[in-house]
Structure 1
Amino acid sequence: MNWKTIFRFALALLFAGTTVGLIESSLSPQDGSTGVALFLGSYTVKFLGYAAILALLSYSQAHRPFAHAALAVALAVALAALALAVVHVYSQALPLLGTYIATFIEWLVTAAAFAVGVPAGRLLAKRRPSAAGYEA
């Protein structure tokens, strides 16, 4: 297993999700209500970003691409859960029901991106010309 690659792509997934979340929170109204379009748009952007990152991982990883992608996703989810727990402990507040629902939706988006991105990356890897020479 290539742990450096797994860790690097886990951080990329975490960074992508955090960036989209920060942009979403800056665009949402100040009264706390979030529009459906913003909600769906942010999860669509997360799905596309996660799928692209996982496709790149499986494209570049010749051996065990599914295992590498699964470990990168598991590490990213664990780091995100740890960060969420630290925020709740630091703020001394219990998580709201909306936090659990958003986390569940985030996991569904991540699973869907895994199901689309990893096979897409493998398909692209099989179609690339070989290193030995390109035959036209």
Structure 2
Amino acid sequence: MNWRKIGKYAGALLFASSAIAFIEGFCCSPSSFAVMLGFNAIAFLVSVAIFTHLVAGQSYRPFAHALAVLLLEEAMGLALWLVLVLMLPDGLVSPLDAQVFFGWLVLGCALAAGTVLGINLQRRARQPAEGCT
């Protein structure tokens, strides 16, 4: 397992998901379900792109690497959440609620979709171009 690569992609995934969540929390009301779905759709697309990029460049155990990225990103995200809860005043950090679990579902689906897309990109890159002899 390439842990340096896993760490870089986990950091990129954490940064992207945190930035999206920050923008969502800063400019939108938390009660709007449509807005939550929209931001989760954006998070899904960004996460799929990150997982696809990882898997397309990973020939050995691509799913294991993508899963390790997801697990490391979630561990770093939980650690960041705990630090924010301890450092910021009450009420500024949202508790773990259904929206967080919905975000985990989105990341799991992004993992599956990105892995499939990345493996397909690998296969296409290995095939010789049509018409070339």
Query: Do both share a fold (TM > 0.5)?
Result: yes
Deviations along 1:101-133, one digit per CA (max 9) or x if unpaired, are 122111101101011111111011101146xx7
- Asked if 1:28 is matched to 2:28, the reply is yes
Task: Find the aligned partners of 1:119 and 1:129 in 2 and give their Cα distance.
Answer: 16
Task: Find the aligned partners of 1:114 and 1:67 in 2 and give their Cα distance.
Answer: 11
Deviation (angstroms), 1:100:
2.2
Matched with 2:74 is 77
Matched with 1:3 is 3
Matched with 1:99 is 96
Letter of the 2:35 partner, please give it: L
Matched with 2:42 is 45
Deviation (angstroms), 1:22:
1.7
Letter of the 2:6 partner, please give it: I
Task: Find the aligned partners of 2:89 and 2:22 in 1 and give their Cα distance.
Answer: 21
Task: Find the aligned partners of 2:24 and 2:129 in 1 and give their Cα distance.
Answer: 45
- Asked if 1:55 is matched to 2:52, the reply is yes
Deviation (angstroms), 1:135:
5.6
Matched with 1:116 is 113
Q: Identity across aligned pairs (percent)?
A: 32
Task: Find the aligned partners of 2:59 and 2:87 in 1 and give their Cα distance.
Answer: 42
The size of the alignment, in residue pairs, is 130
Deviations along 1:10-33, one digit per CA (max 9) or x if unpaired, are 01100110111122123214xxx4
Task: Find the aligned partners of 1:13 and 1:68 in 2 and give their Cα distance.
Answer: 13
Q: Unaligned 5+ residue runs, structure 2?
A: none
Task: Find the aligned partners of 1:54 and 1:88 in 2 and give their Cα distance.
Answer: 29
Deviation (angstroms), 1:41:
0.5
From 62, 66, 69, give the equivalent of 1:65.
62
Aligned CA RMSD, in angstroms, stands at: 2.0
Task: Find the aligned partners of 1:26 and 1:80 in 2 and give their Cα distance.
Answer: 18
TM-score of the pair, normalised by structure 2: 0.87
Deviation (angstroms), 1:86:
1.2
